[in-house]
A and B are shown apart, each in its own frame.
Chain A
Amino acid sequence: MRTTDLLVIGSGPAGLGAAIEGARCGAKVLLVDENTKAGGQLYKQIHKFFGSGAHYAGTRGFQIADILLQEANDLGVETLLDTRALGRMDNGCVSILHQGKVEAVEAKKVILATGAKENALAFPGWTLPGVMTAGAAQTFSNVHGTLVGKNILMVGSGNVGLIVSYQLMQAGAEVRALVEAAPQITGYLVHAGKIQRAGVPVYTSHTVVEARGTDRVEEAVIAQVDEKFRPIPGTEQTIPVDTILLAVGLNPRTELASMFRCRTTYEGALGGILPVHDAWMRSSDPNVYVCGDLAGVEEANTALEEGRLAGIHAAVSLGYTAPHAQARMEELQESLRSLRSGAHAARRLACKERIMEKGGACHV
């Protein structure tokens, strides 16, 4: 059996933020991740990040991952990769599958940073080889050096659809079109501008209605949709592509949070069902924290700040202290408010306020 102060599950920006801050306060931290490399989705992010220059804005995602991993390492965070957290056992320990063996971890506080998974979209032909998530294409292009296809239809104009379109062109593919069911582009217009300047036609109020091909995608049929998102007969167009990528949102990976019996709520704008939390990222169970996309799908900057907040609060609640820990937590809360201000973030802020109201009510 392994014992630790903090068990952090997931090593994306939220988990790394939690591990770093927990360790900085002096807590013993064990960080586990099912992947063979830490960093979560950061290593797939090859664009320069938004956010505050005081943090990592203007730095590319994979460069931020390198900085955070070095920091975690320097602070003595113990990291187990290729290690899957299976659930909580009757005695309160967390079971992990590590190098083919199940082990128990006794942790005083557990910080869940399990991230999100991509939504799928069903339409005739959607199971054909060549139809896949935008994240799969991004992983293969940016990490593995392989294009999943040469001629691409992107479905969805959120930031994922826009950024992955751009990145696939950087890797040498052609994005033949991007369709968006909403009447307007839903991601940042500056991201859209990059692919529009590069000649990608963006069809708003359009969706994919069919993928055609025998052993793989050979063409896509798109159509205009009405105000209820129903395809309008007679508006179909055929686009010759070998790949159809789905960038139609993400939803929190709540399996572990459910096993920990964290109270959940529904917030459509943040991905659907997710665990409630208070202003310090505590779930309904005071010994279990949730942060990052699990606590509502946003972006890496907010994930990192939420993780840091969870890490400090968990360590301080165990009696560890760091200089200015209280002030740091207030700073992080302010930083999160700032990242969620602005017209584009108004809905996310409203969701988060509801979540924190429900989460806070668990600890009165």
Chain B
Amino acid sequence: MSNQPSRGFALLECCQEIPCNPCTTVCKTGAIVKSTLNSRPEFDPEKCVGCKLCVAACPGQAIFFQVPDLGDGKASITFPYEYRPLPVPGQEVVAVDRLGNEVCPAVVQSVDQRPVFNRTALVTLVIPAEYRDQVRFLRRLRREER
């Protein structure tokens, strides 16, 4: 991971051949390409500028954004979040893995709701760097927890 750009990169966890290509159409730098509508996407981290448009656009919510090293043993992970209530920056939450199992405590760094995301919020968590390849979501907040 040491030669990865410190600004971070997209993680494409698109695991099946699905007729779908918004990731390639929103990517302005050509970092994501698909050879056919059905093929799995190919990603060039050198071209990724960290705009996160693909994270919000993926209909399968299968793209994440990772900054592997924030410098103090921490990493950050960004994922789409379409539930209410939304977390708020600074909030302490429980980070979970791909199956919803608790991994570690986390702090919400940002909640990005750009209009171009079409009502998908992007939540970024700061987590211990050792968990950066496990954490993919937060334990969904219930109304009473807000």
Contact = CB atoms under 8 A, between A and B. Distances in A.
A341 B36 contact: yes
B37 interface: yes
B37 A338 contact: yes
Contacts of A58: 22, 25-26, 57, 59, 118
A48 interface: yes
Interface string B109-142: 0000000001110000000000000001101100
B71 interface: no
B96 A342 contact: no
Nearest to B96: A197
B62 interface: yes
Interface residues of B, number: 39
Interface stretch (A77-85, A183-191, A217-225): A183-191
B2 interface: no
A52 B18 CA distance: 10
B22 A48 contact: yes
Contacts of B39: 342
Given A58-B25, A60-B118, A200-B100, A189 B16 contact: yes
A193 B19 contact: no
Given A53-B25, A57-B21, A341-B36, A188 B60 contact: yes
A50 B38 contact: no
B117 to A, nearest CB: 10
A158 interface: no
B36 A338 contact: yes
A232 interface: no
B15 interface: yes
A57 B118 CA distance: 13
B96 A172 contact: no
Contacts of B37: 52, 338-339, 341-342
17 contacts: A48-B59, A49-B59, A51-B21, A52-B21, A53-B22, A53-B24, A190-B13, A190-B14, A190-B15, A197-B99, A197-B100, A197-B137, A198-B100, A198-B140, A199-B139, A199-B140, A301-B19
Given A57-B25, A344-B18, 14 more contacts: A51-B20, A53-B26, A57-B21, A169-B83, A190-B61, A194-B61, A196-B100, A197-B98, A197-B100, A197-B137, A199-B140, A338-B36, A338-B38, A342-B17
Interface of B: 13-22, 24-26, 36-39, 57-62, 82-84, 96-100, 118-120, 136-137, 139-140, 143
Listed from nearest, the 6 A-B pairs whose CB atoms lie closest are A190-B60, A53-B25, A342-B38, A58-B22, A199-B100, A342-B17
